[in-house]
């Protein structure tokens, strides 16, 4: 009987040992779980304190605040733009048509009335969608988070700002009802065209209160939340309409609408009614001026009125002519973009066109794009040559050259023997331009270009003679101004005067540049040489009914085509090409750019007095012939081989 008893005792001991081991393990787990929880709570508390210690004042953020309004005037005093925050009266959630909140919720935050400010389901859904797409296509922010961001925070994308956004969203949910938060959001959100809040946007786009907009208009406003500036219907109606249709589809998916109701909403009689049907001109110029305002007035100036140098008549001509020539020839010649700039002899910008369509691209090709100017750079090479003692009648040999592995060649590899510098510039001889740069010196050529206004880096080798260093149209055109005004350097500018809301003068421009940068003797010589480009050289398509001078330019493989020319009244530059730098179909500076320059300048000069150019009479000028028979033969060969280059 002792054996069974021993076995039973051993079983009891093992069972007790197992229970003790389990209790010890459980105790260990509970102990360290409590410790871990305490540490997690401590770390979380410290993190909350860290991110919350500099949260903005709730009272200040909830109070109404408006950034200064900037009113821009043309040179004649006509208003061309009003920029700044436009806020309408406060509208309550209950007073809005039911479609508007539904459209916003269906598109931005379908679980708005179910979550507590942070939507974990929505975050997970967005994360999965983004992983599948391989890029960010959805966001996980709730309307409450967006309201917190609009009220309290800056738009910077940092971890700290995101955590603060979450904390503030939780605070809003605790202190306000869902309808109150939605009301705050609707009255503070940015909706494009300088409008903040649905009331201001509705009056801007539809000419009526947000309390009386229809289903389609509600969908359009909801669609603006994705990209208010890009989808602004006043400049991108097609994009805004497409987005509004997506919002209507979202409303069907969310159960707010039936498919048949969507078809009714898309009926033309419900289409957008714009309060401002007139086309806005000068958008690229407006952006350029506004970017420079902080250099003239401080943030405490309040509302200001800026009188600019823009001539709306010339601006409209330039925009229409550029679009017209691209519409007619862009497809067949593979040229999709262009820029046009017009300056006064004191450097004042009269017109600035930074691209074909501001609505499609806000990139300013007149001031931001750096491209190779080709032969349009040669006037600075020849000026350097004149300054070291060469004369317009100096004869050089137009022939093949070789510098190590570099062999600069003429257009079509045609050479014409002996040419004067005047003839060489008129026909855009690459060979002689390089020889002039070699005689003047590369450093001298760079110095001349810098003195006239080129600010971008330049290559310190002989290829600079052929325009190998990239420049902007603004820089290049500004460099031609001294030839038109007697040799004075200028700073291109667009602001004449700034006043505050009370009419007090804050700034007035005085002076226009750095003084004499080219000797009058050399201005006379350059004007005669460059007038030959238009009267008998590569730029003959730019001839107008008054003395003028200029230069064509074409970069390698026809990637860029330029014409920069001037009269005693105006200096204008043209660039045509493609943003992706793809070659055009043999578009040279003497073809489309010269023709565009002529068409704009002919209209721009209507009614203007005839201001002479130094060294030119009020008659057309040509290059002086060496003798009549030689001249006729020479120009016959030149025009046959170099037309348009």
For residue 405, give the DSSP letter: T
423 is catalytic: no
Q: CA-CA distance, 441 to 463, in Å (whole number)?
A: 12
| Distant-in-sequence, close-in-space partners of 390: CB < 8 Å, separation ≥ 6 | 421, 436, 439, 440
* Assigned token pair, 286: 């407006």
φ, ψ for residue 371, nearest 5 deg: -135, 160
Question: At how many degrees (to 10) do helices 312-333 and 592-604 cross?
Answer: 160
By CB neighbour count within 10 A (0-12 exposed, 13-18 middle, 19+ buried), where does 170 fall? Answer: middle
For residue 68, give the DSSP letter: P
DSSP 430-470: HHHHHHHHHHH-HHHHHHHHHHHT--S---SSGGGGGT-S-
- Decide: 98 and 332 in contact? Cβ < 8 Å: no
Of 595, 604, 603, 493, nearest to 550 (Cα)?
595
**Matching residue, tokens 């030959």:** 532
- Decide: 121 and 111 in contact? Cβ < 8 Å: yes
- Decide: 224 and 232 in contact? Cβ < 8 Å: yes
3-state DSSP call for residue 620? coil
Query: Hey, which bits of 239-361 come out as E strands?
Result: 304-308, 337-343, 349-353
End-to-end Cα separation, the chain, in angstroms = 122
- Decide: 482 and 489 in contact? Cβ < 8 Å: yes
State how beta strands 417-420 and 395-398 pair.
antiparallel
108 is catalytic: yes
Of 273, 335, 259, nearest to 575 (Cα)?
335
Of 90, 84, 82, nearest to 64 (Cα)?
90
Annotated catalytic residue, options 141, 375, 531, 555: 375
DSSP 590-612: TTHHHHHHHHHHHHHTTT---PP
Q: CA-CA distance, 480 to 261, in Å (whole number)?
A: 61
Q: Where in the sequence numbering do the catalytic residues fall?
A: 108, 375
């Amino acid at each position: 009987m002792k054996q069974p008893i021993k076995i039973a005792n051993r079983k009891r001991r093992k069972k007790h040992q197992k229970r003790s081991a389990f209790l010890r393990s459980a105790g260990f787990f509970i102990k360290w779980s409590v410790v871990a929880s305490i540490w997690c709570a401590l770390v979380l508390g410290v993190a909350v304190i860290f991110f919350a210690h500099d949260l903005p004042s709730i009272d200040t953020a909830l109070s109404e605040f408006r950034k200064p309004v900037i009113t821009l005037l043309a040179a004649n005093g006509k208003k061309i733009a009003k920029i700044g925050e436009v806020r309408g009266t406060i509208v309550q959630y209950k007073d809005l048509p039911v479609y508007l909140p539904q459209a916003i919720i269906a598109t931005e935050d379908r679980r708005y009335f179910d979550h507590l400010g942070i939507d974990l389901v929505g975050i997970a859904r967005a994360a999965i969608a983004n992983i599948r797409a391989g890029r960010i296509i959805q966001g996980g922010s709730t309307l409450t988070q967006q309201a917190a961001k609009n009220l309290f925070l800056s738009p910077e994308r940092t971890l700290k700002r995101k955590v603060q956004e979450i904390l503030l969203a939780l605070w809003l949910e605790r202190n306000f009802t869902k309808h109150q938060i939605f009301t705050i959001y609707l009255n503070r959100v940015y909706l494009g065209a300088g409008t903040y809040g649905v009331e201001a946007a509705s009056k801007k786009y539809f000419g009526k209160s947000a309390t009386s907009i229809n289903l389609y208009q509600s969908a359009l406003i909801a669609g603006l939340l994705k990209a208010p500036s890009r989808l602004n219907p006043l400049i991108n109606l097609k994009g805004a309409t497409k987005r509004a249709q997506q919002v209507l589809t979202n409303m069907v998916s969310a159960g707010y609408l039936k498919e048949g109701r969507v078809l009714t909403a898309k009926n033309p009689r419900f289409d957008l009614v714009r309060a401002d049907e007139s086309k806005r001109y000068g958008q690229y110029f407006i952006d350029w001026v506004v970017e420079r305002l902080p250099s003239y007035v401080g943030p405490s100036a309040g509302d200001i009125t800026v009188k600019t140098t823009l001539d709306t008549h010339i601006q409209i001509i330039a925009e229409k002519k550029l679009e017209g020539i691209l519409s007619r020839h862009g497809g067949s010649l593979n040229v999709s973009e262009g820029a046009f700039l017009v300056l006064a002899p004191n450097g004042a910008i009269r017109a600035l066109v930074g691209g074909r369509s501001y609505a499609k691209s806000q990139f300013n090709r007149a001031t931001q794009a750096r491209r190779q100017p080709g032969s349009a750079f040669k006037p600075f090479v020849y000026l350097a040559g004149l300054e070291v003692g060469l004369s317009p009648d100096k004869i050089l040999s137009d022939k093949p050259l070789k510098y190590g592995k570099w062999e600069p060649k003429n257009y079509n590899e045609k050479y014409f023997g002996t040419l004067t510098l005047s003839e060489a510039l008129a026909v855009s001889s690459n060979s002689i331009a390089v020889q002039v740069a070699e005689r003047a010196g590369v450093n001298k050529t760079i110095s001349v270009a810098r003195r006239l206004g080129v600010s971008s880096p330049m290559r310190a080798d002989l290829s600079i003679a052929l325009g190998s260093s990239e420049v902007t149209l603004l820089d290049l055109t500004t460099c031609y101004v001294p030839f038109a005004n007697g040799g004075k350097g200028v700073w291109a500018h667009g602001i004449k005067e700034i006043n505050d809301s009370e009419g007090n003068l804050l700034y007035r421009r005085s002076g226009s540049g750095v003084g004499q940068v080219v000797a009058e003797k050399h201005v006379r010589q350059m004007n005669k040489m460059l007038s030959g480009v238009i009267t008998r050289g590569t730029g003959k398509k730019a001839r107008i009914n008054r003395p003028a001078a200029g230069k064509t330019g074409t970069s390698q493989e026809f990637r860029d085509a330029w014409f920069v020319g001037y009269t005693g009244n105006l200096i204008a530059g043209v660039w045509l090409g493609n943003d992706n730098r793809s070659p055009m179909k043999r578009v040279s500076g003497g073809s489309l750019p010269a023709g565009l320059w002529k068409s704009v300048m002919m209209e721009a000069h209507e009614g203007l007095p005839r201001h002479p150019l130094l060294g030119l009479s009020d008659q057309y000028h040509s290059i002086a012939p060496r003798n009549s028979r030689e001249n006729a033969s020479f120009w016959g060969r030149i025009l046959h081989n170099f037309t348009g280059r």
